[in-house]
Chains A and B, each alone.
Chain A
Amino acid sequence: MSAIPAAMAANEAPWKLPSRGRVGMLSLIIAESAIFTIFVAAYILYIGKSISGPTPRQILSVPIFITVCLLSSSLTMHWAVAALRKGKTGSFALFWFATLALGAIFLIGTGREWHHLISQEDFTIQTNLFGTTYYSLVGLHASHVLVGLIALAIVMILALLGKVKCEHWERCEVLSLYWHFVDAVWVVVFTVVYGLGR
């Protein structure tokens, strides 16, 4: 009997399965997308429904610079993982740091925008329906950027300690999936908040 499996193994292709890290992260991304979908839907359906001012056009300015920063961080992230895959830990650390820095600039930019809105325009989450949806949607995205930055920082520290090696490229790639997702969500949020809603 034990000969049968061996005979079969010759007929069939070698047994390969998808990586659990990648599948797990993609599943998480699907779940996160569903959350964002609901927030984006609420934002779109509530456009122009506020009973009192201010309106988006009066107070929002388009954050071009930080958007460029965040989107280009996807590119540096890609290069970082590609470098690690080839075993170039030095350029990995460099690109990884660039990603971290660009992400941090984005987060600081969002923080400055909020600070301006709250202290100068006296516009908070309680002001009107627009305020509620705006701070919730942008805040939800910013919190995802923050989580991503913390994860990036941990890997950065490990890389500086010299503990990130070529064999870890797959784990880093899983993390990069999350980062690309956060960037893609910003494209949607940006279009909805600063394009459609303004």
Chain B
Amino acid sequence: MTAQHQSNPAMHSAPEHVALPAPTAWPAVLALGLTLMAAGLLSTNIVSVVGIALSLVAGVGWARQVLPHDRHEMVAVSAAPVQIATPHRKVTRMAAVQAAPHRARLPLEIYPISAGIKGGLAGGVAMAVLAMFYGIVSHGSIWYPINLLGAIVYEHIDVSTAQVEAFHIELLLVATVLHLATSVLVGLLYGAILPMLARRPILLGGVFAPLVWTGFLHSILDIVDPILNQRIDWWWFLASQIGFGIVAGLVVVRQVRIPTWQYPLAARAGVETPGMMDEENNHS
């Protein structure tokens, strides 16, 4: 980093004198004249007359300054070259240290986005199977949980259990869309979070998170949607959540990991930073 002691090279050679516009009183006098013209409207006409006279004189004076040629004064140019220097330079470029990153950026590896999608879909299948199994065991109908899910989008009307057990095509479609979308989104979340969980990712992601989520839903659903709440068997709900978590987690961890960028954006962009140079002696 020797740049700070360099004179500016991108300059043409300097002349000895530079022509600059000479100081002139006429613009200020013209402004005063116009102001007095206006001030006459606030006081007496004599002020305006003075203002007009002053403006005329200033106008002529100004014209004589610029006609036929602008009046200039020659200013001597200082011969000393201008140093572009920062007295206490505190930064240097990170690019220089790219070979040996001074700190690892965690996580070192991540799953690709496709891993999350695959895990989510697999988990979704597992969850659906568990839920339909519950439907058969408790109500003898696989449509029961599907209708409950699909009915989220409808106005809350109290219906008989027989209606919930029957087959409804529109509820099936709504439930499928909802289930797939949620499964993929949660799967993506798992793919992103799992590498950050240092130990027992399956336990944390597959068991602990569904437990917390179920507890949360259990505590608020009575307020949000009491009719739906009456029809939910929370143990089965928890079981299907855990099923999703474990299956999704297992699928995700089987995918190939990709290494993360170890250089921060700043290093890749050639950004300067403090703390990488001997600031006391002002060089790196």
Contact = CB atoms under 8 A, between A and B. Distances in A.
Contacts of B9: 1-2, 4-5
Contacts of A154: 63
A163 B68 contact: yes
B67 interface: yes
A168 interface: yes
B10 interface: yes
A160 interface: no
A4 B68 contact: no
A35 interface: no
Interface of chain A, main secondary structure? helix
A88 B68 CA distance: 19
Interface string A129-168: 0000000000000000000000000100010000100001
A154 B63 CA distance: 10
A5 B6 CA distance: 16
B83 to A, nearest CB: 14
Interface in B33-87: 63, 67-68
B67 A4 contact: no
Interface string B9-24: 1100000000000000
A70 to B, nearest CB: 25
A2 B8 CA distance: 9
Given A163-B68, A168-B68, A5 B63 contact: no
Contacts of B6: 1
Interface string A1-19: 1101100000000000000
A180 B121 CA distance: 73
A33 to B, nearest CB: 22
Contacts of A158: 67-68
Contacts of A168: 68
Nearest to A5: B10
A168 B70 CA distance: 13
B2 to A, nearest CB: 12
A163 B64 CA distance: 13
A16 B67 CA distance: 25
A1 B68 CA distance: 42
B10 A4 contact: yes
Nearest to A165: B68
Contacts of B10: 1, 4-5
B59 to A, nearest CB: 9
Nearest to B6: A1
A102 to B, nearest CB: 24
B51 to A, nearest CB: 17
A163 B69 CA distance: 11
A162 to B, nearest CB: 11
Nearest to A3: B9
Contacts of A2: 9
Nearest to B68: A163
A75 B53 CA distance: 35
Nearest to A1: B9
A94 B10 CA distance: 50
A5 to B, nearest CB: 5
A119 B67 CA distance: 43
Contacts of A163: 68
A158 B10 CA distance: 44
B152 to A, nearest CB: 56
B36 to A, nearest CB: 19
A164 B282 CA distance: 61
A167 to B, nearest CB: 9
A168 B6 CA distance: 44
Contacts of B67: 158
Given A1-B6, A1-B9, A5-B10, 10 more contacts: A1-B10, A2-B9, A4-B9, A4-B10, A5-B9, A154-B63, A158-B67, A158-B68, A163-B68, A168-B68
13 contacts: A1-B6, A1-B9, A1-B10, A2-B9, A4-B9, A4-B10, A5-B9, A5-B10, A154-B63, A158-B67, A158-B68, A163-B68, A168-B68
Shortest 9 CB-CB contacts between residues of A and residues of B: A1-B9, A2-B9, A5-B10, A163-B68, A154-B63, A4-B9, A4-B10, A158-B67, A168-B68
